[in-house]
Amino acid sequence: MSRGDSDPSDTTGAGALGETRFSLGPLGGSFGSADVDLADLIERTKDAVILIDADDVIRYWNEGAEAMFQYARAEVVGRRIGFLVPPDLVQAEELAWIAERIASVGHLSNFVTRRVRKDGVERWVSLTRSVLHDTSRRVLGSSAVFRDVTEERRVHEDLARARGMAVVGEMSVTLAHEIKNRLAGIQAAIQLLARRLDPADPQRQVYADVLHEVRRLDATARDLLRFARPSAPDVATHDLAQFLEGMRTSLERREDVRRHRVELDVPAGLVAAFDAKLLGQALSSLILNAAQAMREPAAVRVSARLVGDGVGIEVADSGPGIADGLLRSIFDPYFTTKAQGTGLGLSIARKNVEAHGGNIHVESRAGVGSCFTIWFPRASAGPRPALAGAST
């Protein structure tokens, strides 16, 4: 194959490849003298295999690339490879670094990076890129092989998070007990001192303010204990529409929720097995966060549907959205953007959902709003098994 053989207007891939065939040479003893068609080697592999000329123009795009990146071959042959690179990596000049690497050593192996699908979703990939020669050893360009490692990376991150949470959890238990014990003594002392003051004494307000802060600290300590040692689910069957209606009635008594509308969209007769207290805590946190995120009166939309063998519950708002740089951290313990937040609400929510064998995730767009989705098995699945050496 030479650069002259590649016609950018040919979107079938045949012009890029011509009648090129690959001989197995000394490795082909078991095939006799037969050649192997390129399609048998790379066309139908699940990995994305792309051939790129010396000008970074795509000359071949296999079926694996179509499936992985959602672009048909006709859409990409003849285009430069850079459209797959996320904007931050374009700015970091990652492609230039890769080009320098393969120019100096001839290849780049198992380089983990990110690429963007046609629908805008980023995927983690392992990239192996090598210089491509013809039979005369002339450099034609390079081959790029991408393997999607998004799920594998997620599993490793979940394992690391679970191990880290085990350590944080044990520290939180000790700290929470120490705080609660000291606060009980402080609160009793302040109340005793306040009772000795004349009812008209202005210092009574000072004591009242101190007691308010003590109670806030006590609430934080309780959150620490809930995060570190979540209760095992006490599962019972509930009508989800009735459950959410009761939650809405309770939450609308709060000032930060009352100025908005909590809209429910739940089919009648949707029954599921869950712990009302644990799931209620998780959903309350999501609804409160949604209400607090919206500056102007608007609707918090709560919907529920059957999803596979489970139930999906969405809590959506029309607030300012969550910045991309924060999305990866919002479920981390002690992470908060609120002036008075403890940073444990979403961490506890995730633990409560995972205790049901479920999961929680968020999608957010700047200026449009955020949508948190909870999924858990419709029938009782019990808590997920603990990871070795970790606590979830």
Where do the structural domains in the chain lie, given as residue ranges? 3-148, 149-229, 233-392
Residue 356 has pLDDT above 70, yes or no: yes
Task: Give the whole-angstrom CA distance, residue 344 versus residue 335.
Answer: 7
Say what the pLDDT of residue 169 is.
64
Mean pLDDT for the stretch of residues 282-288:
92
pLDDT tens, position by position, 307-349: 988 999 999 998 888 877 777 778 776 666 665 555 677 888 8
Residue 262 has pLDDT above 70, yes or no: yes
Say what the pLDDT of residue 341 is.
56
Say what the pLDDT of residue 22 is.
44
Q: Is 63 in contact with 43 (CB distance < 8 Å)?
A: yes
Say what the pLDDT of residue 94 is.
94
Task: Give the whole-angstrom CA distance, residue 366 versus residue 264.
Answer: 24
Residue 314 contacts by C-beta under 8 Å, 6 or more apart in sequence? Answer: 301, 302, 303, 304, 371, 372, 373, 374
> Which of 29-33, 82-86, 143-147, 267-271 shows the lowest per-residue confidence on average (mean pLDDT)?
29-33
Q: What sections of the chain are H helices per DSSP? A: 14-17, 38, 63-69, 73-76, 87-91, 94-105, 150-195, 203-228, 240-251, 255-258, 276-293, 324-327, 345-354
Say what the pLDDT of residue 29 is.
46
Task: Give the whole-angstrom CA distance, residue 92 versus residue 242.
Answer: 52
Whole-number percent of the chain with pLDDT over 90: 36
Question: Residue 167, Cα to own-chain centre: how many angstroms?
Answer: 22
Mean pLDDT for the stretch of residues 9-16:
43
CATH second-level architecture of 233-392? 2-Layer Sandwich (3.30)
Task: Give the whole-angstrom CA distance, residue 259 versus residue 47.
Answer: 52
Mean pLDDT for the stretch of residues 55-82:
94
Say what the pLDDT of residue 226 is.
65
Say what the pLDDT of residue 4 is.
36
More confident residue, 157 or 129: 129
Say what the pLDDT of residue 240 is.
94
Residue 121 has pLDDT above 70, yes or no: yes
3-148 CATH fold: Beta-Lactamase (3.30.450)
Do domains 3-148 and 149-229 share one topology? The answer is no
Say what the pLDDT of residue 390 is.
32
> Which of 22-26, 107-111, 241-245 shows the lowest per-residue confidence on average (mean pLDDT)?
22-26
Task: Give the whole-angstrom CA distance, residue 329 versus residue 259.
Answer: 29
Mean pLDDT for the stretch of residues 110-134:
92
The radius of gyration computed from the CA coordinates of the chain, to the nearest angstrom, equals 29
User: Confidence class of residue 304 from pLDDT cuts 50, 70 and 90?
Assistant: very high
- The CB-side HSE value for 365 (13 A sphere, CA atoms) comes to 5
> Which of 53-67, 285-299, 317-331 shows the lowest per-residue confidence on average (mean pLDDT)?
317-331
What burial class does residue 244 get, using C-beta atoms within 10 Å of its C-beta: 0-12 exposed, 13-18 middle, 19+ buried? buried
User: Confidence class of residue 9 from pLDDT cuts 50, 70 and 90?
Assistant: very low
Say what the pLDDT of residue 6 is.
41
Say what the pLDDT of residue 334 is.
62
More confident residue, 18 or 264: 264
Class of domain 149-229: mainly alpha
Mean pLDDT for the stretch of residues 67-72:
95
Task: Give the whole-angstrom CA distance, residue 343 versus residue 224.
Answer: 10
Say what the pLDDT of residue 214 is.
84
Say what the pLDDT of residue 373 is.
95
Of 38-47, 252-261, 303-312, give the range with the top mean pLDDT.
303-312
Task: Give the whole-angstrom CA distance, residue 30 versus residue 89.
Answer: 44
pLDDT tens, position by position, 183-235: 888 888 888 888 888 888 888 888 888 888 888 777 777 766 666 666 678 88
Residue 268 has pLDDT above 60, yes or no: yes
